[in-house]
Chains A and B, each alone.
Chain A
Amino acid sequence: MPKQSNLLPGSAWLKQAALLLLLLSSAAMAVEDVVKFSDESLRPRYQQLLEELRCPKCQNQNLADSNSAISQDLRAEVQRLLEQKLTDAEIKEYLKNRYSEFILYRPEVNRATWFLWAAPVVLVLMGGLIVLRLSRRKKNSGSEEADLPVRSTDQQQRLDQLLNSPKQGSE
């Protein structure tokens, strides 16, 4: 690239650079609609809400990702509500009343969802309990086995001998 531009006269090079910058800037703007806030402090909240709200039309995209018509409308709606000084919770409530809980990517704890929220804790507790019981049983059964006269002293001696012999043999 620099090699090529060196061949061009000064003004042509400038033109090319300007064109390139123009193209780049349009690409950057195309990523998201330009949203203007009266107060820039609303912007991070806007982004956060779009991440957490689900597009009702598209199953598994949030409002920030989706470019469907309804998502565009709902983004505008979120912006409008933010400008009206509603809190995040109020905005979610507002949309929930219209689009049902489906729209919340982080569902509230209620009769239908408590199991969803409790399941991880319950499963970890159950797992812990099983591990605890297994380890205890192992310990118990281990000591029981030691009490049993499985091997006589003769056999033990012979076993020791066998276990030690390869070591001696290798030397």
Chain B
Amino acid sequence: MNRLTLFIPFALCLALGAFLFFSLGKDPLDLPSALVGEPFPEFALEELHEPERQVSTDDFDGQVLLVNVWATWCFACRIEHPWLNSLAEQGVAIVGLNYKDHRKLAQDWLGERGDPYQFSIFDPRGVLGIDLGVYGAPETYLVDAEGIIRHRRVGVVDERVWNEEFRDLYQQLVDDANAKTE
């Protein structure tokens, strides 16, 4: 018998070990996103500050923008908020999705911390949340000019995350959109 075949089980064990070892480094909280590459789901909900105004994807107005899912009960949102404010100052369009919250609390919260949002979708029952596949807050979606979701971040978006995951893609999408309108 060929002596090399004796090493087959050893090689198999090695391969399995390597596979398991590298799987250890994967973040189990990192869910595959079902909606990246899909259009932002249709919705018709009240605006947070103006209850009589109904907002929908039409209000995205063909902009490249961020949709930020937040709530007053979400602690990490407080950590994230200053960076969203500074992004808004830099001219990044952000739409808020106030998720499973109370209108008054949310309004006060934004009054205290500043409001970086062009407008805020008020979703007290989490209807749009379910359509988006939201399972916690904060979450942030990057939507292109055609209304397609291009990136999703579950968890805080701070300066580091922005630079690593969003900045280049955002810039590229903005350039694409500008090239098309010209």
A-side residues, CB < 8 A to B, are 56-57, 59, 69-70, 73-74, 77, 96-102
B132 interfacial by beta-carbon distance below 8 Å:
yes
Q: Which of A57, A70, A73, A100 contacts B33 (CB 8 A)?
A: A100
In the complex, per-residue mask of B26-37: 1 if CB is within 8 Å of any chain A CB, else 0? 001101111100
B32 touches A98 (CB 8 A): no
A100 touches B133 (CB 8 A): yes
- Nearest CB of A to B1, in Å: 8
Q: Which residues of A contact B133 (CB under 8 A)?
A: 56, 98-100
B136 touches A70 (CB 8 A): yes
State the majority secondary structure of interface residues on A: helix
- Nearest CB of A to B140, in Å: 17
Within 8 A of A (CB), among B84-113: 100
Q: Which residues of A contact B32 (CB under 8 A)?
A: 100-102
Q: Which of B33, B34, B134, B136 contacts A96 (CB 8 A)?
A: B34
Q: Which residues of B contact A98 (CB under 8 A)?
A: 34-35, 130-133
Q: Which residues of A contact B29 (CB under 8 A)?
A: 59
A99 touches B28 (CB 8 A): no
